[in-house]
Structure 1
C-alpha cells in the first residue's frame, strides 16, 4: 500500500550563490518641509536683585551664548540707570519696573490679569512663550484654575526638574506654536532659584538670510621686520616707481602692502559678534573662562555633585575676577584721562544705558538715497555767486606752488600721526608705522607727485560712511535722525595734512604781513 505524502521542497539558494540587486522602483522621494527649524538658546532666572550682580549676569550670558535671558525679581528702581547701563554693555536690555508695592498679589486677581494679557495675542500661528517665576505650586489644588486657563490658550508646560533649592517647581516656561529641547536646570551660588536653560525651536522660512561673518587676521605672531623685508623686496625700484603717475603709484603701493600681508596673515572668516569684546577681558581671564567651560561640560556629562561644586566655585571666582578687572579698567581710564569730553563720555556710558539699536528695516541703500537727496536739496538752495569785477589787486599774494617734501619730513609726519585705521587701509596703521622705513620712499613719491600735478589719487577719494544718531533720544527708525560720518584711509589723511599745513602757513604769513603794513 502506497501513501502519497505531500512535501514542501525548499528552493532557496545558498548564500554563496544568491545575488541581490537593487530595484529602483522601491525608491520613494521623501517629503520636504516648507520650513526649517531655527533654534535659539534662551534662559530664565530669578536673580533676586540684579543691582549687585550685573557683571555676573552679563558674564554668565556670554559664557552660555544666550540669545535671550529673562530675569525676574531684578529689584531695579526706576531711578537706577547705572544698573541698566551695566546690563546693556553687551546686550539689549529691556526692563519695566514695578511702580508701586512689592511681592505678589491674590491668585484670583493674577489669573484675571493673565487672562486679559493672553487674550491680546492673536492665535494665528505666531510662536508664543510665557515664562517667569509664577511662585505657584502646581501639585496643589489651588493651581487647578491656573492649569485650566493656560490650557484654554493651548499653552504647554516645558518639563523640567525642581527650580528651587527647596525642591519645588516655581519657575515655569509655557510655549505655543513652537517646541523646546535640551532643557537644563543649573544651581547657581547667587540665588535660591536655579537657572533654566533650553533651546527654543521656531519655524523659519527656507529663504532666510545667511548668518553674518567678519573677516580678521591673526596679527599677534606677525614680525614687523619680516613684513618690512618682504615689502622692500616686492615694491618696484625707486627709478621705476618714480616713472609712474600718482594713481598708478598709489595702486602699486596699496596692492603690494595687501599682498605681502596676505602672505603672512591671510584673511579668515568667523561668525560676527553681536558686540565687541570687552576691553578688560585679558588673556588670563580668557584662560579662566576656558577652564570654566571645561568644568561645566564635565558636570553636564557626569551630573556628579562634586563636579557641580567645582563648576560653581570656578563660576564664582570668574565673576569676581571680571568685576575686579572691570573696576581696575575704569579706575585707570578715569584717573589717566586728561580730556574732559572723553571723561564725560566715560561717565555717561557707566550711568546711562546706550541708545536703542537702529531699525533692521533700514538698509545701506536707504541711507545712501537719503544722504544724496539731502545733499542735492542743500546745494540747490544756493544761487550762483555774482562776479565782482571791481576787486582791487593791491597787496595781492598768491601761493604759486606747493613745496615738495623730503623722505625725512614724510617719515616724521607718518610717525607723529595718530594711528587711526579705516577698513579701506591696505594694512593696519600701527603696522604701517612699524614698517615705515620700507614705505617712506614710495609714499614720498606719491605725496610729491600729487602736490606737483595737483592730482588727488583716486584711491583716496573713497570713504567708509557710517550713519550715527544725532542724539541718543531720537527715534532710530527715522532716517532724518542720522548724520553721516566718513572714515578715510590713513594715507589720504596724511596727504590732506600736508596740504593743510602749507596752506595754513601761507595764510598765517600773509595775515602777519598785512597787519604790519597797516601800522
Structure 2
C-alpha cells in the first residue's frame, strides 16, 4: 500500500471483468463483459454478438472402425494415422492392454479434434476396450454394465445439427470376450441384450467375440447365432477378420443399418486382426458447423500500412492534469489503434484447420509409408507370399522409423525448453494424463450471469471475512509496533529506454481486449512509444489506473477433470489482462519491491 495513492489496491479491487463462455464445442464463443464498478450490480452484462454468417459443411454419414489392436501404447502412432487415412469418425478398439490411469497411448492415438473414452480390465493383465471419436459427437459413458465373462464399454452417441436437431442417436457398445468357456457368456450376453434393447431404439454392438460365426459346425458359433436371431438383431460382418481366416470381429445392429462394410487386412507387425469399417447414415443431411474463430491476418507489410494509416497522435501527448483527462486520452488511444488496425487488417472469420499429421512426421517417414502402401497394394492384387512378406518387413521398418522420429522430436522439444518448466510440465501432462473433451469444461446449464454472480459473491464473502477478523492482541503488544520512518509517497515516472526494455522483454501474449496484437505492438514501438509512455507516467503521477486497463477477460475452467462440471464451486476464474496493463503492473512492482528491499522492510 502507499500512503497517498492507492494505485495497487485500486487495480486489484476495482477491476472491470469480462467473461467468455463457450456455448458449444463447434460454435463461436460469445463474449460477455460485465462491470464490477457497483457492488450491488448484477444485471449489467453487455453481450457482444459479432456479425457472423452461418457456414456449414454437409455430412450424411459417420464412418466407424473396429480393430483388435493387441496393446495400444506401442502402436499409438499407427492408430493415429489409421484414423486420418481412413477418415474414421469413430474407432472402437479391443485388447488395448491399458492399465488404470495409463493414458499415454490414448493421447497419442487421437488426431486433433478427437476425444476418447476407455475401460480397463479390472484385475489381471491384457484386455481392455476403448473408443476414439470426433469432438462433434456428444458422447456419454454408461457405467452400469458389468459382466464376468466379457468386457464391455457402452456409450450413448448423439449427433446434432447446428439447430440442435438430433440426426443420429444410438447406443454404441464395444465388447471383448476372452477365449474360454462360453456357458456363462451366452447367459450374460442374453441378459445384456434384453436390458439394452428395452431402453434404446438404436444400438450397435461391436467387438472381438472370439467366436467362429463363419463355422456352421462350431457349437458356440451356432448357439451365438441362435441367440442373436431370438432377439431380432443382425450380425453384419461376412468374411474373415483374422489372419487364420475366421470371423471373430463382429458388428451387431438393432434399429440401424450399417452399410459399406469393408475388411482391411493389417500387417502382422501391427495385429493379427483386420480393420473392419462400416458407414452409419444419419436421419437427414447433417449440417455441422466446423470450428471457426475471429482473427486478423497480420502480414510483414501490416506494420508499414499501419504506420501510413495512423492519424496524428499529438493529442495523445498532452500531459493530463486530472484523472478524467487520463481516461479520455487512454480511451482515445485504444480507439485510434483499433480503428487503424481494422482498416489495414480487418477482423475476419477463419476456419480452424487442424493438422492431421503428427509433428514428427517427416520426409523419411513419408517415403517409407509410401513404399509400404505400394507393397500392400501389390499383395492385395496378386496375393503372392513374396509381396506379403515384403509388406510385413516394410511395415515393421516404418513403425521403427516413426518411433525413432517421435523420440527425436520429443528430445528436441525438451532440449529447447529445458529452462521452461511450465512448458515441460504441460507437455508431460498432455502426454500422460487423461484428456477431457472441451464440452466437459463448462456446463451448458450455466450462463455468464451465473459465473459472474458466483465469483462476485465469493469475493465479497472473503472481504467480509477479512473485515470481521479481530486482531489477536494476546500475541503482541500494540505499543511495541514500530512505524516505518519512511514511506513510499509516490511513484517515479520512467523514461523511454526503461519502457522499451520492459515491453521488449515481456512475452508476446495477447488479450482479447488489446487494441492491437502484442507482437505487432512491439514492431510499432517507435510510433506508439510516446503515447504509451505519457499514459503510464500520468497514471503513476496521478495514482489512477485508466479504466481500459482494469478490464480483464475471465474464463472459468474446471479445477480438476474428475470434478463435477455442474457445481459452480468446482470452477476457478482465469484472468487475462491487456498487455499495457501488465506493463503498468510491472513498473509499479519494480518500484515497490525496490523500495521495500532498500529500506529493509521485507
**TM-score, normalising length from structure 2?**
0.64
Q: Work out whether 1:173 is the aligned partner of 2:257.
A: no
Query: Hey, what does 2:119 align to over in structure 1?
Result: 95
Tell whether the 8 Å contact from 2:292 to 2:351 is kept in structure 1 after alignment: yes
Distance 1:260 1:305 in 2: 60
Q: Of 455, 462, 466, which aligns to 1:371?
A: 455
Q: Of 239, 242, 250, which aligns to 1:164?
A: 242
Q: Work out whether 1:237 is the aligned partner of 2:312.
A: yes
* 3-state SS, counterpart of residue 528 of structure 2: helix
Q: Of 564, 576, 579, which aligns to 1:487?
A: 576
Which range is displaced more, 114-123 or 498-507?
A: 498-507
Q: Work out whether 1:254 is the aligned partner of 2:338.
A: yes
Shift of 1:381: 3.3
For CA contacts below 8 A with separation 6 or more, give which structure has more relative contact order: 2
Q: Work out whether 1:413 is the aligned partner of 2:413.
A: no
Query: Hey, what does 2:75 align to over in structure 1?
Result: 53
Structure 2 residue runs of 5 or longer lacking an equivalent are 1-57, 127-177, 319-327, 471-478
Query: Hey, what does 2:359 align to over in structure 1?
Result: 280
Distance 1:395 1:44 in 2: 77
Tell whether the 8 Å contact from 2:510 to 2:518 is kept in structure 1 after alignment: yes
Distance 1:403 1:85 in 2: 51
Shift of 1:112: 1.1
Distance 1:209 1:364 in 2: 23
Query: Hey, what does 1:127 align to over in structure 2?
Result: 202
Shift of 1:339: 5.3
Equivalent residue pairs, number: 460
Which range is displaced more, 90-99 or 342-351?
A: 342-351
| Bigger radius of gyration among the two | 1
Query: Hey, what does 2:441 align to over in structure 1?
Result: 358
Query: Hey, what does 1:42 align to over in structure 2?
Result: 64
Shift of 1:47: 1.2
Distance 1:250 1:426 in 2: 5
Shift of 1:176: 1.7
Tell whether the 8 Å contact from 1:178 to 1:202 is kept in structure 2 after alignment: no
Tell whether the 8 Å contact from 1:228 to 1:438 is kept in structure 2 after alignment: no
Superposed CA offset, 1:386-419 (max 9, x none): 9xxx99988353424x333333322211111122
* 3-state SS, counterpart of residue 563 of structure 2: coil
Shift of 1:277: 7.4
Tell whether the 8 Å contact from 2:69 to 2:94 is kept in structure 1 after alignment: yes
Q: Larger strand proportion, structure 1 or 2?
A: 2
In 2 relative to 1, CA 51–394 (structure 1 residues): closer, same or farther, beyond 3 Å? Answer: closer
Distance 2:105 2:484 in 1: 67
Superposed CA offset, 1:312-353 (max 9, x none): 999877655543333123223434523556555544544443
Distance 1:363 1:324 in 2: 46
Structure 1 residue runs of 5 or longer lacking an equivalent are 1-35
Query: Hey, what does 2:46 align to over in structure 1?
Result: none
Query: Hey, what does 1:69 align to over in structure 2?
Result: 91
1:95-494 pair list within 5 angstroms: 95-97=119-121, 99-100=123-124, 103-139=178-214, 140-141=216-217, 142=219, 143-189=221-267, 190-203=270-283, 210-215=289-294, 222-223=299-300, 226-242=301-317, 245-262=329-346, 267-270=348-351, 280-281=359-360, 288=366, 304=381, 320=400, 322-335=402-415, 336-338=417-419, 343=424, 346-354=427-435, 357-358=440-441, 360-365=443-448, 366-383=450-467, 395=485, 397-400=487-490, 402-494=491-583
Superposed CA offset, 1:239-284 (max 9, x none): 243356121112212332354333xxx63432576xx878835675
Superposed CA offset, 1:270-311 (max 9, x none): 2576xx8788356759x949x96xx79x97xxx8569x9999
Shift of 1:71: 0.8
Shift of 1:94: 1.0
Superposed CA offset, 1:355-412 (max 9, x none): 67436545453434432333343334344799xxx99988353424x33333332221
Tell whether the 8 Å contact from 1:86 to 1:350 is kept in structure 2 after alignment: yes
